[in-house]
Structure 1
Amino acid sequence: MKFARLLGIPIRVNPLFLLLAILYSCLGLGREIIIILAAVFLHEIAHTLVALMLGIKVAEIEILPFGGQAQIEDFTALDPSKEIYLALAGPAVSLLLAGLFYFLQPYLNLDLQFFVNINLVLGLFNLLPALPLDGGRVFRALISPLLGFKRSTKIAAFLGQFIALLLLAYGFYLSYTRLTGANYIVIGILLFWAARREGKLLLYSFMRYLLHKKAELARKGFLSCNQLVAYTYTPVKEILNATGPSYYLVVVVLDEDHHPRGMISEVELIECYLEKGPRVSLEDCQ
Protein backbone atom coordinates (compact mmCIF):
# COMPACT_ATOMS: atom_id res chain seq x y z
CA MET A 1 0.00 0.00 0.00
CA LYS A 2 1.38 3.42 -0.98
CA PHE A 3 2.00 5.50 2.11
CA ALA A 4 3.67 8.72 0.95
CA ARG A 5 6.26 10.17 -1.41
CA LEU A 6 9.78 11.15 -0.38
CA LEU A 7 11.59 13.48 -2.77
CA GLY A 8 9.42 12.16 -5.60
CA ILE A 9 9.96 8.51 -4.67
CA PRO A 10 6.83 6.53 -3.70
CA ILE A 11 6.98 4.87 -0.28
CA ARG A 12 5.00 1.68 0.12
CA VAL A 13 4.15 -0.01 3.42
CA ASN A 14 4.31 -3.81 3.44
CA PRO A 15 0.83 -5.21 4.26
CA LEU A 16 2.20 -7.42 7.05
CA PHE A 17 3.89 -4.41 8.63
CA LEU A 18 0.59 -2.53 8.43
CA LEU A 19 -1.24 -5.48 10.00
CA LEU A 20 1.36 -5.61 12.76
CA ALA A 21 0.98 -1.86 13.35
CA ILE A 22 -2.81 -2.21 13.70
CA LEU A 23 -2.42 -5.15 16.07
CA TYR A 24 0.07 -3.29 18.27
CA SER A 25 -2.18 -0.21 18.31
CA CYS A 26 -5.10 -2.35 19.50
CA LEU A 27 -2.85 -3.63 22.31
CA GLY A 28 -2.16 -0.07 23.42
CA LEU A 29 1.28 0.19 21.81
CA GLY A 30 0.44 2.90 19.29
CA ARG A 31 3.22 5.16 20.60
CA GLU A 32 5.81 2.43 20.00
CA ILE A 33 4.57 1.91 16.42
CA ILE A 34 4.87 5.64 15.70
CA ILE A 35 8.44 5.63 17.04
CA ILE A 36 9.36 2.58 14.95
CA LEU A 37 7.88 4.16 11.84
CA ALA A 38 9.77 7.40 12.52
CA ALA A 39 13.07 5.53 12.95
CA VAL A 40 12.56 3.55 9.73
CA PHE A 41 11.52 6.71 7.88
CA LEU A 42 14.68 8.57 8.95
CA HIS A 43 16.72 5.50 7.98
CA GLU A 44 15.23 5.65 4.49
CA ILE A 45 15.68 9.41 4.17
CA ALA A 46 19.41 8.79 4.55
CA HIS A 47 19.37 6.20 1.76
CA THR A 48 17.33 8.47 -0.50
CA LEU A 49 19.51 11.55 -0.03
CA VAL A 50 22.70 9.60 -0.73
CA ALA A 51 21.05 8.01 -3.80
CA LEU A 52 20.21 11.46 -5.16
CA MET A 53 23.76 12.67 -4.47
CA LEU A 54 25.20 9.67 -6.35
CA GLY A 55 22.77 10.02 -9.26
CA ILE A 56 21.05 6.70 -8.53
CA LYS A 57 17.38 6.43 -9.48
CA VAL A 58 15.23 4.68 -6.88
CA ALA A 59 11.92 3.29 -8.17
CA GLU A 60 10.24 2.91 -4.77
CA ILE A 61 10.90 2.25 -1.11
CA GLU A 62 9.07 -0.46 0.81
CA ILE A 63 8.77 -0.12 4.59
CA LEU A 64 9.45 -3.37 6.46
CA PRO A 65 9.74 -4.02 10.22
CA PHE A 66 13.55 -4.33 9.94
CA GLY A 67 13.94 -1.21 7.75
CA GLY A 68 13.21 -0.30 4.18
CA GLN A 69 13.99 -1.92 0.87
CA ALA A 70 14.86 0.40 -2.01
CA GLN A 71 14.33 -0.83 -5.56
CA ILE A 72 16.90 0.57 -7.96
CA GLU A 73 15.36 2.00 -11.12
CA ASP A 74 18.36 1.48 -13.39
CA PHE A 75 20.76 -1.48 -13.24
CA THR A 76 23.59 0.74 -14.54
CA ALA A 77 23.70 2.31 -11.07
CA LEU A 78 24.99 -0.97 -9.62
CA ASP A 79 28.51 0.32 -9.20
CA PRO A 80 30.12 -1.39 -6.17
CA SER A 81 31.45 1.82 -4.62
CA LYS A 82 28.09 3.57 -5.06
CA GLU A 83 26.21 0.63 -3.61
CA ILE A 84 28.44 0.61 -0.53
CA TYR A 85 27.90 4.31 0.15
CA LEU A 86 24.17 3.95 -0.46
CA ALA A 87 23.84 0.90 1.78
CA LEU A 88 25.85 2.31 4.70
CA ALA A 89 23.92 5.59 4.78
CA GLY A 90 20.89 4.11 6.56
CA PRO A 91 22.69 2.22 9.37
CA ALA A 92 25.06 5.17 9.87
CA VAL A 93 22.15 7.57 10.47
CA SER A 94 20.32 5.07 12.71
CA LEU A 95 23.40 4.56 14.90
CA LEU A 96 24.10 8.30 14.91
CA LEU A 97 20.55 9.02 16.11
CA ALA A 98 20.85 6.32 18.79
CA GLY A 99 24.07 7.81 20.12
CA LEU A 100 22.90 11.41 19.83
CA PHE A 101 19.62 10.96 21.68
CA TYR A 102 21.23 8.69 24.27
CA PHE A 103 23.48 11.55 25.37
CA LEU A 104 20.84 14.27 24.89
CA GLN A 105 18.13 12.41 26.82
CA PRO A 106 19.02 13.83 30.28
CA TYR A 107 19.13 17.39 28.93
CA LEU A 108 15.83 17.13 27.06
CA ASN A 109 14.06 15.76 30.15
CA LEU A 110 12.23 13.22 27.96
CA ASP A 111 12.06 9.44 27.97
CA LEU A 112 13.63 8.63 24.60
CA GLN A 113 15.10 5.24 25.51
CA PHE A 114 12.75 3.31 23.20
CA PHE A 115 13.70 5.57 20.26
CA VAL A 116 17.38 5.03 21.12
CA ASN A 117 16.92 1.25 21.33
CA ILE A 118 15.00 1.04 18.05
CA ASN A 119 17.64 3.02 16.17
CA LEU A 120 20.42 0.95 17.72
CA VAL A 121 18.75 -2.33 16.74
CA LEU A 122 17.84 -1.00 13.29
CA GLY A 123 21.42 0.13 12.64
CA LEU A 124 23.16 -3.00 13.91
CA PHE A 125 20.69 -5.50 12.43
CA ASN A 126 20.97 -3.91 8.99
CA LEU A 127 24.75 -4.33 9.06
CA LEU A 128 24.43 -8.13 8.91
CA PRO A 129 25.99 -9.37 5.62
CA ALA A 130 22.76 -10.72 4.16
CA LEU A 131 20.28 -9.44 1.59
CA PRO A 132 17.98 -7.55 1.66
CA LEU A 133 19.71 -5.90 4.63
CA ASP A 134 22.11 -3.04 4.01
CA GLY A 135 25.06 -5.14 5.13
CA GLY A 136 24.11 -7.67 2.46
CA ARG A 137 24.39 -4.97 -0.19
CA VAL A 138 27.85 -4.05 1.09
CA PHE A 139 28.83 -7.73 1.09
CA ARG A 140 27.54 -8.16 -2.48
CA ALA A 141 29.41 -5.06 -3.63
CA LEU A 142 32.65 -6.41 -2.16
CA ILE A 143 32.45 -9.87 -3.75
CA SER A 144 30.77 -8.96 -7.06
CA PRO A 145 34.04 -7.93 -8.76
CA LEU A 146 35.18 -11.53 -8.28
CA LEU A 147 31.95 -13.51 -8.69
CA GLY A 148 29.64 -11.24 -10.72
CA PHE A 149 26.37 -9.63 -9.61
CA LYS A 150 24.13 -12.64 -10.21
CA ARG A 151 26.18 -15.11 -8.18
CA SER A 152 26.95 -12.57 -5.47
CA THR A 153 23.24 -11.78 -5.16
CA LYS A 154 22.41 -15.48 -4.77
CA ILE A 155 25.02 -15.91 -2.02
CA ALA A 156 23.93 -12.80 -0.08
CA ALA A 157 20.25 -13.72 -0.50
CA PHE A 158 20.96 -17.25 0.80
CA LEU A 159 22.55 -15.73 3.91
CA GLY A 160 19.41 -13.62 4.33
CA GLN A 161 17.22 -16.73 4.22
CA PHE A 162 19.53 -18.49 6.68
CA ILE A 163 19.32 -15.61 9.18
CA ALA A 164 15.54 -15.53 8.70
CA LEU A 165 15.31 -19.21 9.59
CA LEU A 166 17.42 -18.60 12.72
CA LEU A 167 15.04 -15.80 13.73
CA LEU A 168 12.05 -18.09 13.13
CA ALA A 169 13.61 -20.86 15.22
CA TYR A 170 14.40 -18.41 18.03
CA GLY A 171 10.89 -16.97 17.84
CA PHE A 172 9.28 -20.40 18.12
CA TYR A 173 11.61 -21.24 21.01
CA LEU A 174 10.58 -18.08 22.87
CA SER A 175 6.92 -18.73 22.08
CA TYR A 176 7.21 -22.23 23.54
CA THR A 177 9.12 -21.22 26.67
CA ARG A 178 7.93 -17.68 27.44
CA LEU A 179 5.11 -16.93 24.98
CA THR A 180 7.01 -13.82 23.78
CA GLY A 181 8.47 -14.74 20.37
CA ALA A 182 5.83 -13.37 17.99
CA ASN A 183 7.98 -10.41 16.89
CA TYR A 184 10.87 -12.65 15.86
CA ILE A 185 8.53 -14.95 13.95
CA VAL A 186 6.99 -12.07 11.97
CA ILE A 187 10.38 -10.50 11.19
CA GLY A 188 11.78 -13.90 10.24
CA ILE A 189 8.92 -14.53 7.79
CA LEU A 190 9.26 -11.10 6.19
CA LEU A 191 13.06 -11.37 5.98
CA PHE A 192 12.85 -14.81 4.36
CA TRP A 193 10.32 -13.56 1.81
CA ALA A 194 12.34 -10.43 1.04
CA ALA A 195 15.58 -12.41 0.70
CA ARG A 196 13.97 -14.80 -1.79
CA ARG A 197 12.60 -11.86 -3.77
CA GLU A 198 15.95 -10.06 -3.81
CA GLY A 199 17.41 -12.49 -6.33
CA LYS A 200 14.76 -11.48 -8.85
CA LEU A 201 15.29 -7.71 -8.57
CA LEU A 202 18.32 -7.60 -10.88
CA LEU A 203 16.44 -9.51 -13.55
CA TYR A 204 13.44 -7.25 -12.97
CA SER A 205 15.52 -4.10 -13.50
CA PHE A 206 17.08 -5.59 -16.61
CA MET A 207 13.74 -6.59 -18.12
CA ARG A 208 12.14 -3.23 -17.27
CA TYR A 209 15.01 -1.41 -18.99
CA LEU A 210 14.63 -3.49 -22.15
CA LEU A 211 10.83 -3.28 -22.14
CA HIS A 212 11.09 0.51 -21.97
CA LYS A 213 13.16 0.53 -25.14
CA LYS A 214 10.81 -1.93 -26.84
CA ALA A 215 7.89 0.33 -25.95
CA GLU A 216 9.71 3.33 -27.42
CA LEU A 217 10.46 1.36 -30.58
CA ALA A 218 6.83 0.26 -30.90
CA ARG A 219 5.54 3.79 -30.29
CA LYS A 220 7.86 5.52 -32.75
CA GLY A 221 8.37 2.71 -35.25
CA PHE A 222 12.10 3.29 -35.10
CA LEU A 223 14.83 3.92 -32.59
CA SER A 224 18.11 5.75 -33.08
CA CYS A 225 21.28 3.71 -32.91
CA ASN A 226 24.33 5.03 -31.15
CA GLN A 227 27.47 3.26 -32.40
CA LEU A 228 30.68 3.33 -30.40
CA VAL A 229 34.19 2.15 -31.20
CA ALA A 230 36.22 0.77 -28.31
CA TYR A 231 39.28 -1.35 -27.60
CA THR A 232 38.94 -4.90 -26.29
CA TYR A 233 40.27 -3.87 -22.87
CA THR A 234 37.65 -1.13 -22.34
CA PRO A 235 35.55 -1.78 -19.18
CA VAL A 236 31.93 -2.64 -19.95
CA LYS A 237 30.86 -0.37 -17.08
CA GLU A 238 32.19 2.67 -18.92
CA ILE A 239 30.38 1.67 -22.11
CA LEU A 240 27.07 1.19 -20.28
CA ASN A 241 27.40 4.67 -18.78
CA ALA A 242 26.91 5.93 -22.34
CA THR A 243 23.55 4.20 -22.75
CA GLY A 244 20.26 6.08 -22.85
CA PRO A 245 16.55 5.25 -23.02
CA SER A 246 15.97 6.85 -26.42
CA TYR A 247 18.52 4.96 -28.52
CA TYR A 248 20.07 1.52 -28.92
CA LEU A 249 23.78 1.02 -28.34
CA VAL A 250 26.08 -1.04 -30.58
CA VAL A 251 29.82 -1.32 -29.93
CA VAL A 252 32.43 -2.05 -32.59
CA VAL A 253 35.34 -3.77 -30.83
CA LEU A 254 38.91 -3.15 -32.03
CA ASP A 255 42.17 -4.76 -31.01
CA GLU A 256 45.27 -2.68 -30.25
CA ASP A 257 46.19 -2.69 -33.96
CA HIS A 258 42.78 -1.20 -34.80
CA HIS A 259 41.59 -4.41 -36.43
CA PRO A 260 37.86 -5.11 -35.90
CA ARG A 261 37.17 -7.99 -33.54
CA GLY A 262 33.39 -7.92 -33.84
CA MET A 263 30.27 -6.12 -32.66
CA ILE A 264 28.48 -6.35 -29.32
CA SER A 265 24.88 -5.29 -28.78
CA GLU A 266 23.57 -3.46 -25.74
CA VAL A 267 21.71 -6.54 -24.50
CA GLU A 268 24.89 -8.63 -24.67
CA LEU A 269 26.78 -5.96 -22.72
CA ILE A 270 24.15 -5.89 -19.97
CA GLU A 271 24.06 -9.69 -19.65
CA CYS A 272 27.86 -9.85 -19.54
CA TYR A 273 28.01 -7.10 -16.92
CA LEU A 274 25.47 -8.77 -14.63
CA GLU A 275 27.01 -12.21 -15.08
CA LYS A 276 30.71 -11.38 -14.68
CA GLY A 277 30.75 -8.26 -12.52
CA PRO A 278 31.91 -4.64 -12.72
CA ARG A 279 35.52 -5.44 -13.69
CA VAL A 280 34.55 -7.17 -16.93
CA SER A 281 35.97 -5.80 -20.19
CA LEU A 282 34.68 -6.02 -23.77
CA GLU A 283 37.08 -8.87 -24.46
CA ASP A 284 35.38 -10.96 -21.77
CA CYS A 285 32.02 -10.52 -23.51
CA GLN A 286 33.07 -11.94 -26.88
Structure 2
Amino acid sequence: MSSFSSYKANAAKLITIFDSPFYPDSLDEAKILYGSVIERFTELVEIAQSSTNLLEIITQEPDPIRIQLLRVFRRYVSPDTSVEMTKRKSKIPEIIAEFGVRFRPLEEVRRNLKSRPIPDEALMISLLEQSKRGQKGYDLTEAFFLWFDKTFGDNYKIQGPIRAGRDVMLNEVLDNWEQKTPADFLISRSNSTPLVVGFARYDSDRGGSQEDDRTGGNRDKVTEVIQYASNYNVPLKVFFLNDGPGLLLGSMWNDYAALEIYGKGRVMVCTLKMLDERFSIDWLEN
Protein backbone atom coordinates (compact mmCIF):
# COMPACT_ATOMS: atom_id res chain seq x y z
CA MET A 1 0.00 0.00 0.00
CA SER A 2 1.30 3.46 -0.91
CA SER A 3 2.18 5.76 1.97
CA PHE A 4 0.52 9.10 2.64
CA SER A 5 3.78 10.85 1.74
CA SER A 6 3.73 9.32 -1.76
CA TYR A 7 0.59 11.31 -2.60
CA LYS A 8 2.17 14.70 -1.91
CA ALA A 9 3.01 15.44 -5.56
CA ASN A 10 -0.72 15.40 -6.35
CA ALA A 11 -1.88 16.75 -2.99
CA ALA A 12 -3.93 19.63 -4.42
CA LYS A 13 -6.03 17.16 -6.42
CA LEU A 14 -6.60 14.87 -3.47
CA ILE A 15 -8.05 17.29 -0.95
CA THR A 16 -11.76 17.95 -0.62
CA ILE A 17 -13.00 21.53 -0.63
CA PHE A 18 -16.42 22.08 0.90
CA ASP A 19 -18.00 25.21 -0.53
CA SER A 20 -18.08 28.45 1.44
CA PRO A 21 -20.65 31.18 0.74
CA PHE A 22 -19.57 34.17 -1.32
CA TYR A 23 -19.90 37.70 -0.02
CA PRO A 24 -22.24 39.56 -0.33
CA ASP A 25 -24.49 36.61 -1.28
CA SER A 26 -24.41 35.42 2.33
CA LEU A 27 -26.04 38.63 3.52
CA ASP A 28 -29.47 37.32 2.59
CA GLU A 29 -29.09 34.34 4.93
CA ALA A 30 -27.53 36.51 7.65
CA LYS A 31 -30.46 38.94 7.60
CA ILE A 32 -33.01 36.14 7.83
CA LEU A 33 -31.22 34.49 10.75
CA TYR A 34 -30.13 37.50 12.77
CA GLY A 35 -32.26 40.50 11.83
CA SER A 36 -34.89 39.74 14.47
CA VAL A 37 -32.21 38.79 17.02
CA ILE A 38 -30.53 42.21 16.82
CA GLU A 39 -33.94 43.88 16.92
CA ARG A 40 -34.85 41.99 20.10
CA PHE A 41 -31.45 42.77 21.65
CA THR A 42 -32.06 46.48 21.04
CA GLU A 43 -35.46 46.23 22.74
CA LEU A 44 -33.95 44.54 25.80
CA VAL A 45 -31.18 47.13 26.04
CA GLU A 46 -33.84 49.84 26.25
CA ILE A 47 -35.68 48.23 29.17
CA ALA A 48 -32.62 47.01 31.10
CA GLN A 49 -31.44 48.97 34.14
CA SER A 50 -27.77 48.01 33.83
CA SER A 51 -25.48 45.75 31.84
CA THR A 52 -25.71 43.03 34.47
CA ASN A 53 -29.48 43.36 34.47
CA LEU A 54 -29.40 43.02 30.67
CA LEU A 55 -27.71 39.63 31.03
CA GLU A 56 -30.30 38.58 33.59
CA ILE A 57 -33.13 39.60 31.25
CA ILE A 58 -31.57 37.77 28.30
CA THR A 59 -31.29 34.65 30.45
CA GLN A 60 -35.09 34.62 30.79
CA GLU A 61 -35.65 34.64 27.02
CA PRO A 62 -36.78 31.33 25.45
CA ASP A 63 -34.46 29.13 23.45
CA PRO A 64 -33.20 29.29 20.75
CA ILE A 65 -33.21 33.10 20.64
CA ARG A 66 -31.59 33.23 24.09
CA ILE A 67 -28.37 31.72 22.71
CA GLN A 68 -28.29 34.16 19.80
CA LEU A 69 -28.91 37.10 22.14
CA LEU A 70 -25.97 35.93 24.24
CA ARG A 71 -23.79 36.07 21.13
CA VAL A 72 -24.76 39.70 20.58
CA PHE A 73 -24.32 40.45 24.30
CA ARG A 74 -20.79 39.13 24.12
CA ARG A 75 -19.91 41.50 21.29
CA TYR A 76 -21.51 44.62 22.73
CA VAL A 77 -21.09 44.14 26.48
CA SER A 78 -18.62 41.43 27.50
CA PRO A 79 -16.05 39.96 25.09
CA ASP A 80 -14.52 38.20 28.12
CA THR A 81 -17.48 35.85 28.59
CA SER A 82 -17.95 33.16 25.97
CA VAL A 83 -21.40 31.97 24.97
CA GLU A 84 -20.56 28.53 26.34
CA MET A 85 -19.87 30.15 29.69
CA THR A 86 -23.25 31.88 29.78
CA LYS A 87 -25.41 29.05 28.41
CA ARG A 88 -26.07 27.57 31.86
CA LYS A 89 -28.61 29.76 33.60
CA SER A 90 -27.50 28.64 37.03
CA LYS A 91 -24.04 30.11 36.35
CA ILE A 92 -25.23 33.64 35.57
CA PRO A 93 -24.91 35.02 39.15
CA GLU A 94 -21.38 33.63 39.35
CA ILE A 95 -20.47 35.15 35.96
CA ILE A 96 -21.83 38.53 37.01
CA ALA A 97 -19.83 38.37 40.25
CA GLU A 98 -16.61 37.46 38.46
CA PHE A 99 -16.87 39.41 35.21
CA GLY A 100 -19.56 42.05 35.77
CA VAL A 101 -17.03 44.70 36.70
CA ARG A 102 -15.69 44.45 33.13
CA PHE A 103 -19.09 44.75 31.42
CA ARG A 104 -19.39 47.83 29.22
CA PRO A 105 -21.75 50.37 30.85
CA LEU A 106 -25.29 50.21 29.52
CA GLU A 107 -25.38 53.83 28.39
CA GLU A 108 -22.33 53.23 26.22
CA VAL A 109 -23.96 50.11 24.78
CA ARG A 110 -27.04 52.17 23.91
CA ARG A 111 -24.95 54.84 22.19
CA ASN A 112 -23.07 52.21 20.20
CA LEU A 113 -26.28 50.52 19.13
CA LYS A 114 -27.73 53.81 17.91
CA SER A 115 -24.56 54.56 15.96
CA ARG A 116 -24.91 51.42 13.88
CA PRO A 117 -26.83 51.18 10.58
CA ILE A 118 -30.10 49.28 10.37
CA PRO A 119 -29.71 46.50 9.44
CA ASP A 120 -26.23 46.06 10.89
CA GLU A 121 -24.78 43.93 8.12
CA ALA A 122 -21.31 43.73 9.66
CA LEU A 123 -22.64 42.21 12.87
CA MET A 124 -24.95 39.85 10.99
CA ILE A 125 -22.12 38.52 8.86
CA SER A 126 -19.94 38.09 11.95
CA LEU A 127 -22.68 36.08 13.66
CA LEU A 128 -23.26 33.97 10.55
CA GLU A 129 -19.58 33.15 10.11
CA GLN A 130 -19.33 32.08 13.74
CA SER A 131 -22.36 29.82 13.36
CA LYS A 132 -20.71 28.12 10.38
CA ARG A 133 -17.51 27.24 12.24
CA GLY A 134 -17.15 23.51 12.49
CA GLN A 135 -19.72 22.79 9.78
CA LYS A 136 -17.11 21.58 7.31
CA GLY A 137 -15.79 19.19 9.94
CA TYR A 138 -19.31 17.81 10.34
CA ASP A 139 -19.58 17.47 6.55
CA LEU A 140 -16.32 15.51 6.56
CA THR A 141 -17.35 13.01 9.23
CA GLU A 142 -20.80 12.56 7.69
CA ALA A 143 -19.25 11.77 4.30
CA PHE A 144 -16.94 9.21 5.92
CA PHE A 145 -19.72 7.51 7.87
CA LEU A 146 -21.82 7.20 4.71
CA TRP A 147 -18.86 5.79 2.76
CA PHE A 148 -17.96 3.36 5.53
CA ASP A 149 -21.51 2.05 5.96
CA LYS A 150 -21.82 1.51 2.22
CA THR A 151 -18.42 -0.19 1.92
CA PHE A 152 -18.06 -2.14 5.16
CA GLY A 153 -21.40 -1.91 6.92
CA ASP A 154 -22.28 -5.58 6.48
CA ASN A 155 -19.30 -6.82 8.49
CA TYR A 156 -18.11 -3.94 10.64
CA LYS A 157 -19.72 -1.28 12.78
CA ILE A 158 -18.77 2.33 13.39
CA GLN A 159 -19.85 4.38 16.38
CA GLY A 160 -19.60 8.08 17.03
CA PRO A 161 -21.45 11.29 16.16
CA ILE A 162 -22.12 11.53 12.44
CA ARG A 163 -22.20 15.31 12.70
CA ALA A 164 -22.46 17.26 15.96
CA GLY A 165 -22.66 15.24 19.13
CA ARG A 166 -20.75 13.79 22.02
CA ASP A 167 -17.35 12.33 21.21
CA VAL A 168 -16.60 8.67 21.68
CA MET A 169 -14.86 8.44 25.08
CA LEU A 170 -12.28 5.68 24.90
CA ASN A 171 -12.53 4.91 28.61
CA GLU A 172 -16.21 4.06 28.02
CA VAL A 173 -15.75 1.82 24.98
CA LEU A 174 -12.36 0.15 25.57
CA ASP A 175 -11.79 -2.20 28.48
CA ASN A 176 -9.02 -1.03 30.81
CA TRP A 177 -8.56 2.32 29.07
CA GLU A 178 -8.22 4.68 32.02
CA GLN A 179 -7.86 8.19 30.56
CA LYS A 180 -10.87 10.22 29.48
CA THR A 181 -9.74 10.36 25.87
CA PRO A 182 -12.17 11.66 23.22
CA ALA A 183 -12.17 10.24 19.69
CA ASP A 184 -14.39 10.98 16.71
CA PHE A 185 -15.27 7.36 15.98
CA LEU A 186 -14.49 3.76 16.81
CA ILE A 187 -14.61 0.94 14.25
CA SER A 188 -15.19 -2.61 15.49
CA ARG A 189 -15.84 -6.08 14.13
CA SER A 190 -19.40 -7.35 14.32
CA ASN A 191 -18.38 -9.25 17.48
CA SER A 192 -17.40 -5.90 19.07
CA THR A 193 -13.62 -6.40 18.83
CA PRO A 194 -12.25 -2.85 18.50
CA LEU A 195 -10.12 -2.29 15.42
CA VAL A 196 -9.69 1.42 14.73
CA VAL A 197 -9.73 4.60 16.79
CA GLY A 198 -10.52 7.47 14.43
CA PHE A 199 -9.90 11.20 14.49
CA ALA A 200 -11.33 13.55 11.85
CA ARG A 201 -10.30 17.10 11.05
CA TYR A 202 -11.08 19.53 8.26
CA ASP A 203 -8.53 22.31 7.88
CA SER A 204 -9.52 25.40 5.95
CA ASP A 205 -6.30 27.00 7.14
CA ARG A 206 -3.45 25.98 9.40
CA GLY A 207 -0.02 27.13 10.42
CA GLY A 208 2.37 28.32 13.10
CA SER A 209 2.11 27.14 16.70
CA GLN A 210 -1.29 25.53 16.07
CA GLU A 211 0.36 23.28 13.52
CA ASP A 212 3.07 22.30 16.00
CA ASP A 213 0.53 21.61 18.75
CA ARG A 214 -1.53 19.40 16.43
CA THR A 215 1.50 17.33 15.46
CA GLY A 216 2.52 16.68 19.06
CA GLY A 217 -1.01 15.86 20.14
CA ASN A 218 -1.50 13.37 17.33
CA ARG A 219 1.77 11.63 18.09
CA ASP A 220 0.69 11.26 21.73
CA LYS A 221 -2.59 9.68 20.62
CA VAL A 222 -0.73 7.18 18.45
CA THR A 223 1.64 6.29 21.29
CA GLU A 224 -1.23 5.72 23.74
CA VAL A 225 -3.27 3.56 21.36
CA ILE A 226 -0.34 1.41 20.26
CA GLN A 227 0.77 0.92 23.85
CA TYR A 228 -2.76 -0.09 24.84
CA ALA A 229 -3.00 -2.51 21.91
CA SER A 230 0.30 -4.11 22.92
CA ASN A 231 -0.57 -4.35 26.62
CA TYR A 232 -3.95 -5.98 26.07
CA ASN A 233 -3.30 -7.85 22.81
CA VAL A 234 -5.96 -5.92 20.90
CA PRO A 235 -5.65 -5.42 17.09
CA LEU A 236 -6.19 -1.67 17.47
CA LYS A 237 -5.00 0.93 14.97
CA VAL A 238 -5.30 4.71 14.55
CA PHE A 239 -6.92 6.42 11.59
CA PHE A 240 -6.65 10.13 10.86
CA LEU A 241 -9.25 11.42 8.41
CA ASN A 242 -7.85 14.79 7.43
CA ASP A 243 -8.91 17.01 4.60
CA GLY A 244 -9.12 20.56 3.35
CA PRO A 245 -6.74 23.13 1.84
CA GLY A 246 -4.96 23.53 5.18
CA LEU A 247 -3.17 20.26 4.45
CA LEU A 248 -1.28 22.05 1.69
CA LEU A 249 0.15 24.68 4.06
CA GLY A 250 3.40 24.59 5.95
CA SER A 251 4.61 21.17 6.97
CA MET A 252 1.17 19.62 7.51
CA TRP A 253 1.42 16.96 4.81
CA ASN A 254 4.90 15.91 5.93
CA ASP A 255 3.81 15.90 9.57
CA TYR A 256 0.98 13.47 8.88
CA ALA A 257 3.25 11.34 6.71
CA ALA A 258 5.66 11.14 9.65
CA LEU A 259 2.80 9.84 11.84
CA GLU A 260 2.32 6.90 9.47
CA ILE A 261 6.02 6.09 9.66
CA TYR A 262 5.94 6.36 13.44
CA GLY A 263 2.94 4.04 13.60
CA LYS A 264 4.74 1.25 11.70
CA GLY A 265 1.64 0.10 9.83
CA ARG A 266 -0.81 0.77 12.67
CA VAL A 267 -1.52 4.35 11.55
CA MET A 268 -3.20 5.58 8.40
CA VAL A 269 -3.89 9.12 7.19
CA CYS A 270 -6.41 9.73 4.41
CA THR A 271 -8.43 12.38 2.70
CA LEU A 272 -11.89 11.44 1.46
CA LYS A 273 -10.57 10.99 -2.07
CA MET A 274 -8.02 8.39 -0.94
CA LEU A 275 -10.45 6.12 0.89
CA ASP A 276 -11.29 3.73 -1.94
CA GLU A 277 -7.64 3.15 -2.70
CA ARG A 278 -6.15 3.02 0.81
CA PHE A 279 -8.75 2.12 3.45
CA SER A 280 -9.17 -1.61 2.96
CA ILE A 281 -10.11 -4.79 4.82
CA ASP A 282 -6.46 -5.81 4.60
CA TRP A 283 -5.45 -2.75 6.63
CA LEU A 284 -8.36 -3.19 9.05
CA GLU A 285 -7.50 -6.78 9.81
CA ASN A 286 -3.70 -6.93 9.50
Would you say same fold, with TM above 0.5? Answer: no
TM band (smaller chain): under 0.3
**TM-score of the aligned structures, taking structure 1 as reference length:** 0.25
Which structure has more helix as a fraction of its residues? 1
Structure number with greater CO (CA < 8 Å, separation at least 6) is: 2
Which structure has more strand as a fraction of its residues? 1
Computing the radius of gyration from Cα coordinates, the structure with the larger value is 2
